[in-house]
A and B are shown apart, each in its own frame.
Chain A
């Protein structure tokens, strides 16, 4: 029988072997090594790795305000970014599932920024913020466009957020569209006949039914915004004066610019733990709100 043929040791080796080798080599070993290095003073040059116990963590927790301000920046960015991309993505999807004539073209337009990498998008927007905005500001006289975009902490934060929403809303829109088209028309029509308002239908019927999509979209948006690196690098490089530096950028700079690899891996470990906790909580919370459709 088939199961018998599949039970030899060599199919196991041939089928599972390759993917497992790369997985162990590229993810698991570095992950374990990282745990070890976070307790050392490794500086990237081979041969000089000393065990320093909890020194790195002590330093991070007592004497590294830059790291914590980058954490605070990342948290603020994540909260605002996740809310806005999901709101924009959902409403685009909600309106595009109506019988619009241009819905296919619009779907393409809204998704398009997403296929371009964050680095190039950031550079494009640097031009928009620096030159485009000032031109529009001159033409319209709106002070919004004449702010010092990317030049101070506030405009840097909102500039990155704006580009992030522009980039990722289209992706979430696609996920929401897939879910919204599965909501049964009969249920919606029944609600309409019963005299439910549009808002009641949205809150009482649509939102609970698309909860699985909301779970996925929150998960994706949190994961993107918390690990944001490319946009940050190409828009502000963390400046001015590190006021818009994300955790990912801070870790990168610690290791590859300051050559403090041990300290960098300790920060990476803290970063991992926080990401893991957030992910677990978030999946728990949204899963518990899903309803059977």
Chain B
């Protein structure tokens, strides 16, 4: 068991997989090498290694997309959304599991059923609701939308996880005089850590990369997130690849760095979040 030798067959499999892996990476090669070429060289040969490195492409793209601002906006929106979504969904799920009333059971069913609703089916009237609440064109409005849209899946994931946590520890704490809020924050929340990671990672990837919702809610240029800034930039500089490509590299850099740093957790989180999809 488990001590099989590294056979010739396995070597061929490995070689084939490495070739497939390189093919998967090829688009990134084209993106990176051409992002530092002058325009003429991109047009004459897009596959070659750059003859001279024109780093100035990057400084121009950095300024023209107002990258620091877009990065900051994306950060604020993602961090606030992700933390609040995790918190309110965990609290809701906890209560629904522990106080198994008919009301809570029906409510939970409603959350689960809502997972089927595609965003495009509610986006038009959602804008109306956002306008009526007076939070149009603001990050607060956008974050509120994310809280509602992200709640069903997050709550569903927590619900399944909390069901498996034994009740005894909480009961002991209650006997010791802790109130429900202290019990939740001191005892339950730390136990939820694996699922918290999953929910936070799934929501991070979703909110950071989302284009459609912010494009509908944030109209002011200074509120643009990275996808919005990239979209606007691409519209303006279509086919000016010596600017568009470095802008794209800047746009994907933060999330790729995030992934490479935390890849173990991200891959585990994705696997855990899908088991009960």
Contacts and interface: CB of A to CB of B under 8 A. Distances in A.
A118 interface: yes
B244 interface: yes
Interface in A108-124: 108-120, 123-124
B227 A15 contact: no
A131 B124 contact: no
A117 B227 contact: yes
Nearest to B234: A123
Interface in B15-56: 16-18, 20-21, 24-25, 27, 30-31, 34, 42-43, 45-47
Given A2-B171, A256-B216, A115 B274 contact: no
B200 interface: no
Contacts of A285: none
B108 to A, nearest CB: 10
B145 A18 contact: no
Given A33-B125, A106-B21, A119-B209, A11 B180 contact: yes
Contacts of B31: 124, 127
A96 B155 CA distance: 32
Interface residues of B, number: 98
A236 B174 CA distance: 59
Contacts of A219: 277
Contact of B121 (A7, A112, A119, A268): A268
A113 B227 contact: no
Contacts of A33: 125, 128-129
Interface in B109-144: 110-111, 114, 116-126, 128-129, 133, 144
Contacts of B248: 120, 123-124, 127
B184 interface: yes
Q: Is the interface of B mostly helix, strand, loop or mixed?
A: helix
Given A31-B117, A102-B18, A127-B241, A216 B209 contact: no
Contacts of B88: 18-19, 22
Contacts of B152: 23, 27
A28 interface: yes
Interface stretch (A153-161, A170-178, A201-209): A170-178
B126 A30 contact: yes
Q: Is the interface of A mostly helix, strand, loop or mixed?
A: helix
A185 B34 CA distance: 47
A99 B10 contact: yes
Contacts of A275: 116, 118, 121
Contacts of A105: 21
Contacts of A79: none
Interface in A220-264: 220, 226-227, 229-230, 233-234, 247-248, 251-252, 255-256, 261, 264
Contacts of A276: 116
A54 to B, nearest CB: 19
Given A12-B99, A99-B10, A131-B42, A117 B211 contact: yes
B66 interface: no
A230 B155 contact: no
A283 to B, nearest CB: 10
Contacts of B252: 116, 120, 124
B209 A116 contact: yes
Interface of B: 1-2, 4, 6, 10, 13-14, 16-18, 20-21, 24-25, 27, 30-31, 34, 42-43, 45-47, 88-89, 91-92, 94-96, 98-99, 104, 107, 110-111, 114, 116-126, 128-129, 133, 144-145, 147-149, 151-152, 155, 167, 170-171, 174-175, 179-181, 184, 205, 208-212, 216, 227, 230-231, 234, 241, 244-245, 248, 251-252, 255-256, 258-260, 263, 266-267, 270-271, 274-275, 277
The 10 closest A-B pairs by CB, nearest first: A26-B148, A117-B209, A15-B95, A19-B92, A33-B125, A2-B171, A178-B271, A272-B121, A22-B148, A30-B125
26 contacts: A11-B99, A14-B91, A15-B184, A16-B104, A19-B89, A19-B151, A27-B114, A27-B122, A34-B125, A37-B125, A98-B10, A99-B4, A99-B10, A100-B13, A105-B21, A106-B21, A115-B258, A120-B227, A120-B251, A127-B244, A131-B30, A135-B45, A227-B120, A229-B120, A271-B118, A275-B121
Interface of A: 1-3, 5-7, 11-12, 14-16, 18-20, 22-31, 33-34, 37, 92, 95-96, 98-102, 105-120, 123-125, 127-128, 131-132, 134-136, 139, 166, 171, 174-175, 177-178, 185, 189, 212, 216-217, 219-220, 226-227, 229-230, 233-234, 247-248, 251-252, 255-256, 261, 264-265, 268-269, 271-272, 275-276, 279
